[in-house]
Amino acid sequence: MTGAKLHPKSVDGPEPQGSKTSTEEKASTVEVVPPPEVNEPSPELTPEEAEQARKKYLLKRFWISARRYWGRSGERLAWPCTLGLLALIGINVGFQYGINRWNRAIFDAIERHDAGTVYFLSAVFLPLVLGTVAVVTTQVALRMMIQRRWRSWLTTAVIGRWLANGRYYQLNLIGGDHKNPEARISEDLRIATEAPVDFIAGVISAFLSASTFIIVLWTIGGALTLPIAGLTATIPGFLVVTAVLYAAITSSSMAVIGRHFVQVSETKNQTEAEFRYTLTHVRENGESIALLGGEEEERNDLHKTFAKVLAQWALLARQHMRTTLVSHGSMLIAPVVPVLLCAPKFLEGSMSLGQVMQAASAFAIVQGAFGWLVDNYPRLADWNACARRVASLMMSLDGLERAEQSDALGRIKHGDTQGEAMLSLNDLSVSLDDGTAVVKETRVAIEPGERVLVAGESGSGKSTLVRAIAGLWPWGEGSVDFHPDRRLFMLPQRPYIPSGTLRRAVAYPGAADRWTADQIKAALDKVGLDYLKDRIEEDAPWDQTLSGGEKQRLAFARLLLHTPDIIVLDEATSALDEKSQDRMMQMVIHELPEVTIISVAHRVELEAFHSRKITLERRRGGAKLVSDIDLVPRKRKGNLFSRVLENRRSLQKGGTSSN
């Protein structure tokens, strides 16, 4: 746990004006839909076939969510922008045809030495160019708008699911192909939404261009008659036949040469993500590495990780070399082919120079349309890999979401306490996602104002129990109940320090402007950070600047601002010396005398600040609560564990007297 946690029922007061971000507004428009059904490959498939089926389903899973952008829950501008883009593609093809006709007219005029027509066509050329440029520019702007808005919509939806119900944390606790979710959400999702728009626009443009200029080639070229062994053979539409055959050869060559492109690109993206994660890990743990002198070991680890990246880049480079061989060769040969084919007709006088140039231009456009796959195969492979990585994260989130809606594995319930109890654990068992028990059948009721210390040896499940109380750990049985309308605030061992100003760090998770500067300074003064009061508006890397003890003091300052009803301290004073620890605990008790405290700690000295101690003991079937004692004598109601012990003693006495 890396930050404070407010119970969902908490009411922190009115939100400051303007605090609702555009991201939240967008998230509110995303329709909440149930996850797709599990699609397991048939057990009869071989491992290779099962892997292929899984990859095919990953693409399907990506589109299940991505296509909703154009659905009822999508954005209102999705269809108008899409239809506008399609219209611009059609208009652009019209301008291409106009320039193609202009080519024929200008060269025919040059061949006839018709100066007037040449001057007129020269004047017409400028409007054609300006019109084409305007249409293409608008088309690019609209295409990029669709990409940007689609990415924004889908990213908001994925982040919303990722952050909901602590799933971003739970992903670390379960198995699956969802490593480096931050890279999948930022980089992979960007490519996964940009490329399809380019592909669809390219395919439609290629289809319209090919359809239009095949007619031009058929009309201009006509039939070609060839003498063969004393006979004549006529090939109708010989330019069209040649264009189709040429495109078929180049496209099939690309498909064969680049058949491993998708797999290599996918592996390359994965190694790149792992390298970024390793670099981020070093940066986030820089202090510990520097103190231990672990630079050499980290350097070796980075070199190994980067070597994998370079190896995959080498494989990818070979794939690019092969595809470039086909694409560049095609680019050089394509303009020459129609001229050579039309040369006999031009020389015999059945085709004008303008028709030859029009045919060459049309052939190049048709070849470009047919060769779309040749030019875009590498990018198509890259999109394939990125879409699968995004879909893998979606599927892991699907699994967590289905688990939340199902009782098959067992889920810890959360509700309201009965009576005055602030918190009650009712037959609470905490287990792993595979059903292995960690804590078994814990029953505890904590009254208002109690200060309870949870003790036990390392590995007995204390921190896991805290996560279950916070709602971060969902698997298990029983229930965790809170008093209605009471606020829970958690202080972990490693407090989370957000980026930005010190003021924001102290106010977190509230808004920085919710409290005045004087209130922030007063809180810092009470926790012994008065020397930082003049720096609250300073934007600095406070997570790296503050020591572990200072971070824990800052977390206590948050308590004073948020004034919760229940505080859970998970080793929250472990970085403080004994004297500082005593000051923090005395300050909390003095400033928040009515607050209910639950502490998880190893230090015996903390018993002096608590009224009650419960102990967990690790056992084979899961840790159990073995003792519940009062450190300060007082009358309490609802101590379920004590009542169980008293009932057992009375039964034993009754059995003894009867004997």
Single residue among 381, 405, 429 that ends a domain in this structure? 405
> Stretch 598-602: mean pLDDT, rounded?
85
Q: Is the pLDDT of residue 550 over 90?
A: yes
Q: Which is higher by pLDDT, 459 or 171?
A: 171
- pLDDT for 19: 35
Tell me: the pLDDT tens digits for 303-359? 999 999 999 889 888 888 887 887 777 778 877 888 888 888 888 888 888 888 888
- Contact status, residue 264 vs residue 312, Cβ threshold 8 Å: yes
CA distance 506 to 498: 9
Is 122 part of any domain? Answer: yes
Same domain (yes/no): 398, 336: yes
- pLDDT for 16: 32
- pLDDT for 528: 93
Q: Which is higher by pLDDT, 234 or 41?
A: 234
Is 647 part of any domain? Answer: no
Is 635 part of any domain? Answer: no
State the CB neighbour count (10 A cutoff) for residue 535.
15
Q: Is the pLDDT of residue 642 over 50?
A: no
Residue 512: which pLDDT band, with cuts at 50, 70 and 90?
confident
Same domain (yes/no): 134, 234: yes
Is 284 part of any domain? Answer: no
Is 300 part of any domain? Answer: no
For the chain, give the mean pLDDT.
81
Same domain (yes/no): 206, 337: yes
Same domain (yes/no): 227, 371: yes
Residue 283: which pLDDT band, with cuts at 50, 70 and 90?
confident
Same domain (yes/no): 417, 395: no
Single residue among 350, 379, 405 that ends a domain in this structure? 405
Q: Which is higher by pLDDT, 16 or 651?
A: 651
Is 238 part of any domain? Answer: yes
Is 191 part of any domain? Answer: yes
In terms of C-beta distances under 8 Å and separation of at least 24 residues, what long-range contacts does 70-75 make, across chains too?
A: 72/31, 73/29, 73/30, 73/31, 73/33, 74/153, 75/29, 75/149, 75/153
Please state, for a pLDDT cut of 90, what percent of the chain lies above it: 27
Same domain (yes/no): 352, 453: no
Tell me: the pLDDT tens digits for 131-140? 999 999 999 9
Rg (CA), the chain: 35
CA distance 191 to 203: 18
Q: Is the pLDDT of residue 608 over 50?
A: yes
CA distance 621 to 594: 37
Same domain (yes/no): 613, 488: yes
Same domain (yes/no): 417, 541: yes
- pLDDT for 288: 75
Q: Which of 24-33, 88-97, 580-589 has the lowest mean pLDDT?
A: 24-33
CA distance 597 to 491: 11
Kind plus residue range of the DSSP H or E element containing 232: strand 231-235
Q: If you search the block for the tokens 């018709």, which residue do you land on?
A: 114
- pLDDT for 651: 43
The single-letter DSSP state of residue 185 is I
Q: Which is higher by pLDDT, 156 or 409?
A: 156
- Contact status, residue 402 vs residue 35, Cβ threshold 8 Å: yes
Q: Is the pLDDT of residue 12 over 50?
A: no
- pLDDT for 135: 95
CA distance 470 to 7: 7
State the CB neighbour count (10 A cutoff) for residue 353.
17
Task: Give the 3-state secondary structure of residue 223.
Answer: coil
Tell me: the pLDDT tens digits for 155-167? 999 999 998 877 8
In angstroms, how far is the first alpha carbon of the chain from the final one?
54
CATH number at residue 349: 1.20.1560.10
Residue 234: which pLDDT band, with cuts at 50, 70 and 90?
confident
Residue 190: which pLDDT band, with cuts at 50, 70 and 90?
very high
- pLDDT for 17: 32
Residue 400: which domain range? 69-259+332-405
Same domain (yes/no): 401, 419: no
Same domain (yes/no): 393, 427: no
- pLDDT for 621: 63
**pTM check: above 0.75:** no
Same domain (yes/no): 75, 168: yes
- Contact status, residue 78 vs residue 148, Cβ threshold 8 Å: no
Residue 14: which pLDDT band, with cuts at 50, 70 and 90?
very low
Residue 239: which pLDDT band, with cuts at 50, 70 and 90?
confident
- pLDDT for 559: 92
CA distance 414 to 69: 34
> Stretch 36-59: mean pLDDT, rounded?
75
Tell me: the pLDDT tens digits for 285-314? 876 788 778 888 888 889 999 999 999 889
Please state, for a pLDDT cut of 70, what percent of the chain lies above it: 85
- pLDDT for 589: 92
Residue 260: which pLDDT band, with cuts at 50, 70 and 90?
confident
- pLDDT for 146: 95
- pLDDT for 256: 80
Single residue among 350, 384, 405 that ends a domain in this structure? 405
CATH number at residue 428: 3.40.50.300
Same domain (yes/no): 544, 589: yes
Tell me: the pLDDT tens digits for 192-222? 999 999 999 999 998 999 889 888 888 887 7
Is 303 part of any domain? Answer: no
Q: Which of 46-55, 106-115, 507-516 has the lowest mean pLDDT?
A: 46-55
CA distance 612 to 332: 84
> Stretch 221-232: mean pLDDT, rounded?
71
Residue 622: which pLDDT band, with cuts at 50, 70 and 90?
low
Number of structural domains (the chain) is 2
